[in-house]
Amino acid sequence: MHRLGFIGFGGMAAGYHYETSKRSDIPDLEPAAVYDVDPQRREFAKSKGLAVYDSLQDFLDSRAFDIVLVATPNNYHRPMVEAALGAGYNVMVEKPAAITSADFRAMMDAADRSGKLFTVHQNRRWDRDFLIAKAAIEEGDVGAPYMIESRIHGTGGTMTGWRGMADHGGGMLLDWGVHMLDQVLWLIKEPVDTVYAVVRSIKTDEVDDYAKVIITFESGLVAQVEVATFTLAPLPRLAVYGDKGGFMIEGGSPARVTKATDMHWENYDAPAYGDDYPGGMQSRTLRRCVYGTEKFDAPAPEKLPPQDWASLYKNVLAALDGKEELVVKPVEVLRVIKVIEAAFESSRTNKAVKFVN
């Protein structure tokens, strides 16, 4: 049996994480203890029957649990993660794991020193729409992708609470963007070449509430990630363009694939101007692609893995018990944070940033 201790017991921790730890299909995990600086959150935790601490040291000294979930505002992630790892606990931290790659490298170093498991709650790898897109690409119906678009268009207007505070690491790129970038970078394993981004504040005073990030990979494949809080006419959630077809996904629905069939090349003569223009015309032989199309929904639901955020917890427990490899690896998360840093730099300089993998 594994027991979970919470550093921070706000909305995500007290809602999603606490409830997940009590699920009947995760019998090897139970919630145990809470450390929070807010007296109201401590009282709420007591009402749930949890052991409650107003001192981080007392919480860590209690040994009442073996896994720590860090779910504080973003700027406190590094000190809390380092403290928990240093005390000998396995640690999961909420996303974004860190505001800077330097902070996250420090967490990775602390995990290496401790020998304990360290991962990040990138639960959106189990989103239905993303898994549909991933499976459709892997089935090969669209051929080799050359453009992937991923976006979240919200209608809330502003970033609220501490997510609207710059000193707490707020902003849309670090909030939703980190999920969308994690999905794309997990799907595309090849090295990143350049990052270009536009990061803006449309309705929020202190932090960004709109961002468009364009990533070019070494093969030439391009991925575009867009996040916004004030989009009253949203575009499709996901779109993929390949050399044999393409598809779009809206609202978690199946991918509506348009696939090229009977594709072949044929020669044709095209008029071309001669070197002595405007003296005359010549003819040049070119090639054109000729094809038919078919449309269908893909993939079949039975081909998809479970679309359940709790799969992340199940994987962490299996990894601790030596039964599975950890899905969300720190080195993958580091790449995401570095892309976010490059995006902010690109937006400041209005230039594409050469990425250092």
Residues of the chain with CATH 3.30.360.10: 127-306+336-354
Give the chain's largest Cα–Cα span.
Answer: 91
pLDDT at 279 over 70: no
The tens digit of pLDDT for each residue in 171-218 reads 999 999 999 999 999 999 999 999 999 999 999 999 999 999 999 999
- How would residue 280 be classed by pLDDT, with cut points 50, 70 and 90? low
In whole angstroms, give the CA distance from residue 255 to residue 192. 26
**CB 338, CB 105: distance < 8 Å:** no
C-alpha span between 214 and 204 (Å, rounded):
23
For residue 37, which phi and psi values (nearest 5 degrees)?
A: -80, -10
> CA 299 → CA 185, 236, 253, distances in Å?
21, 18, 11
Q: At 145, is the pLDDT very low, low, confident or very high (cuts 50, 70, 90)?
A: very high
**pLDDT over threshold 80, residue 278:** no
Whether 276 shows a pLDDT value over 70: the answer reads no
Question: Residue ranges of the alpha helices (H) in the chain?
Answer: 11, 18-21, 39-47, 56-61, 77-86, 101-114, 128-138, 172, 178-187, 310-320, 330-349
Neighbours of 126 (CB within 10 A): 18
281 SS3 class: strand
Taking residues 10-18, what's their average pLDDT? 96
Start and end residues for every CATH 3.40.50.720 domain found in the chain: 2-121
Q: For 127-306+336-354, which CATH superfamily applies?
A: Dihydrodipicolinate Reductase; domain 2 (3.30.360.10)
Q: ∠ at Cα 123 (118, 126), nearest 5°?
A: 130
Of the candidates 213, 217, 224, 214, the residue with the CA atom closest to the CA atom of residue 192: 217
Find all residues with CB under 8 Å of 31, minimum gap 6, and list them.
3, 4, 6, 18, 21, 22, 48, 50
Closest listed residue to residue 78, CA positions, set 113, 116, 109: 109
pLDDT tens-place string over residues 126-135: 999 999 999 9
Q: Please give the model's pTM, rounded to 2 decimal places.
A: 0.94
CATH topology of domain 2-121: Rossmann fold (3.40.50)
